[in-house]
Every structure is written in C-alpha cells, then in structure tokens.
Amino acid sequence: MNVITVLCMADVLHAFAIEEKDDIFKRTACPAFLLFENAAYLADMTFELPCNCKPEEVTSVVWYFQKDEESHQTMVLTDFAGTMVVDSGHIHVGSDVLKRFSIRMFSLIVFRAQAGDSGLYLCGTKKGDFFYGYDVDVQPTKHITVAFVDRGQHAQEDYTEKVFSLFTTFWDWTKCDRCGVRGEQRRIGLCYVRSSQLHPRYRTVVPNVTSCGSKAVPAHFHHPDRRRRPEVVIRSCLTPCLKEEVPKEGVQAISNIISKLGQKPWQPPIPTQLHKHPAGSGLVIACPGARPEHAVAWDKGSVRLYRSHYLLGVNRSMRIFIDHGNHLHILRVRLSDRGTYYCWREGELVAGFRLSVSYESQRKRTLDDPETMYAIKTILTSYVLITIVFFGIHLCRCCRRLFWCPPSK
C-alpha cells in the first residue's frame, strides 16, 4: 500500500512539474527578433541550455547548432521522432557533439563540452521556426593560467586597449575538497571583454560585457580570447568532517565485531573497485559522480596528491597528474604505481580504486601508444643531431682546407 502511495505521489509531482513548465512558457513571450543569450563555460564541463520560450501549440522542440551566423551548415541535434538520450558515464573527451548531448524537458544538455562546441544554439521546430538562441563560448583548458595563493601568486592583470578591455570573471570558491585534513579550494575564472562596440543582437547580463569567445565581439578586435586565457586560483583550506549518526549501543557493538572480523582497520569503509592494468600503458581514473566544476581530490593510500604538486602544467615532466576535469592520469604505468587510490568529492571520501599492475608477454604496438611515440621521437631527434654533427664536421674540414692549407708550389 505504501509503495502504491509513493508511486501515485511521484506521478502527481511529475504532472505538477510539467504543468509548471507549461505555465512558464505561457508567461514568457518570445522576442520579436531572435536574440542570442551569451553563456561561457570551461572545457570538459557539462552545461544545460533551457528553451526559455515557445508557442503554446508546440509540444516538442528541435535544437540546432551553427558555428556562426555566416555558416551555411546547420547541425540538427535531435531526430524528429523525439529526443536522443545518452549515458553520461560513457562520454569520452573528443567525441562528437552528436554523441554528447541529451534533450530533457525542452532543455539541451551537452556533456563534457569542448572548445569546438562553441557557437550558436537555437531552439525551434523541425519546420525551421526559431524561438530562442544561445551564444555559447567554451574556453579551452590548454595553456590555462594557474595561480597558487599559498605561494603568493595572483590572478592576471586586466588588459586595456582603446576600444576594449579584457578581464577575468571568477566563479565562487568550491568547497574544501577534503575534510579532517588539509585540503584545497579552487576558483575558476573565465575571460571577458568590455566594449561599447559589441554586436547588439547578442544579449548579455551586464551591458557592453561578454565572454572573449562570443560572436558579439567584432572581428577587428583580432581574437581577444587569444590574448587572455581562462585561469584557476587554488588555495589551502581546512574543514571538519560531518559527524555521522551513531547507531544504538547494541547495534554498534555488533557492527564493530563484524568490521573487525571482515575489514582492515587502515582502509576506509567506502566502495572499492579492483582494476588490473598492463605495465607501460596509460591509465585515466575518474571519480564517480564528479563533474569538472566539483571539488575533487585524490590520494594514493595515505599520500595526498595535492594540486600544488600534481596539477596538469605544474611540471612538464609529470608522469602522474590531475587534469582540469578532475581526472587522475598515470602515464606509462609502472610496478611502483600499485596501490589504492582514493577519491574525494565535495569534501567527502566516496570511492577507492585498487590498482594492480601486470606485464604482458606479447603486446601489439600501435602508433598511438605513448611508448611508440616516444621511441619515434627519440630516433628522429637522434637522427637529426647525427646529421647536424656530420655536416658540421665536413663543413669545418672544407673551411680548414680552404683557408688554412698553404698554396701548392
């Protein structure tokens, strides 16, 4: 009986949500001229674009994508029979946008956006009637500027020219990524431009201000997004862990006995996944349920992998690093990489990955393998150096014969 009641309540809430959505469309009138609302994100983030207005008689929407207004190629982001549903857990970096989106309640969701996804997104019908548009700017994480507050580093200074100025708009600080021990906080900053010459068709929250990669920026500004990169500011933090509810005395005594018999005291009681990986190949570990904008931290056993030492770009020769999408990378896995890696999400320890390393006797090499690329690069570099030395020696011998040898009688 209780189950039936819960299901009925769920249906009522679902119907209420749909009715509330319809009321929003009734109250929101579409603009007479199609405008594009500016929205900026960092690469590898997942973002949602709601279709904020549509006629009452329209029951389903179609999302379109254009690289810019002058582009003659328009990509349809849905089949006309309904919506395309994807599993965000199987999304990989670099996959096509057609494999990284979903449409839910008239909203478009793009998973792990890349810089190539920047452009115009339009909400409309299959007949080509457009209701609402977005000017999306996905700023790349390559060459991102990183500042560590504990080292006395600061954010970038504003850049000013005659007709425009560049500055960074920061999001709020994330939560402390660990609790009970020293953790880190991260603050993401995106590049923005201020000018009175922005295109009026693009809607912005603040007048005369838009993101650096926006289509509202005039062409004669010469790509301001190339002069200023997004940035990340990191600082240390310390926050206590939330106290868990303590069970009753009898239940706690029984659970303590079971935990002592079935668990190792030095391992936290979290889900742990076992993984066997071949030596010499690369490995990428993702934290379950985490997004790039979340506060995520990694530990190897009792060793804290702080971003101040393991963030991508801190050291060029890093073999183990954390990217800006919160993934842990291990290049050319070694036997010493064995162990248990723990993942923190929003200040809470959520998962463990027990890594074991194996050696494969026979393994087919491909050109995409890091070892193959390293070997080819080493061979080509050695060949170039040997060639330079060879020609240098012969050039010196020729010059010596020409200038130092006495003339023959």
pLDDT at residue number 83: 44
209-211/182-194 β-pairing:
antiparallel
Q: Are 68 and 136 in contact (CB under 8 A)?
A: no
Cα 191 to Cα 166: distance, rounded to the nearest angstrom: 7
Q: Residues 6 or more apart from 299 whose CB is under 8 A from it?
A: 305, 341, 342, 344
Percentages helix, strand, coil for the chain (3-state, rounded to 5) are 25, 30, 45
Q: How far apart are CA 389 and CA 409, in angstroms?
A: 34
Locate 390 and state its tokens.
Answer: 């060879």
Alpha-carbon torsion (305, 112, 208, 106), positive or negative: negative
Q: Tokens for 298?
A: 């990694």
CA angle at 24 for the pair 22 and 27, rounded to the nearest 5°: 115
Task: Render 380-392 in DSSP notation, one character per residue.
Answer: HHHHHHHHHHHHH
pLDDT attached to residue 203:
85
pLDDT, residue 172, reads: 92
pLDDT of 329: 93
Q: Which amino acid is at 220?
A: H
In sequence order, the β-bridge partners of residue 339 are: 355
Cβ-proximal residues to 46 (8 Å cutoff; 6+ apart), any chain: 88, 109, 110, 111, 112, 113, 291, 292
Q: What letter does residue 129 receive in the DSSP assignment?
A: -
pLDDT at residue 26, rounded to an integer: 52
The DSSP H or E segment spanning 65 is strand 62-66
Rounded to 5 degrees, what angle do the CA atoms 125, 119, 52 make? 45
In this structure, which amino acid lies at residue 110?
V
pLDDT of the chain along its 409 residues, tens only? Answer: 333 323 233 333 333 343 444 444 455 667 777 889 999 999 888 888 998 887 777 777 888 898 877 766 778 886 444 444 444 444 454 445 556 777 877 888 888 788 888 999 998 888 878 888 999 999 998 888 999 999 999 888 888 888 899 999 999 999 999 999 999 999 999 999 999 999 988 888 889 999 998 999 988 886 776 778 899 999 999 999 887 655 555 544 544 544 454 555 556 678 899 999 998 888 999 899 888 889 999 999 999 999 999 998 787 788 999 988 899 999 999 999 999 999 999 999 999 999 999 886 555 666 766 677 788 888 999 999 999 999 888 888 888 877 775 555 5
Cα within 13 Å of Cα(153), Cβ side: 15
For the chain, the maximum distance between any two Cα atoms, rounded to a whole number of angstroms, is: 121
- The beta strands (E) that lie in 207-295 are given as 209-211, 231-238, 272-278, 283-285
The pTM assigned to this predicted structure is 0.68
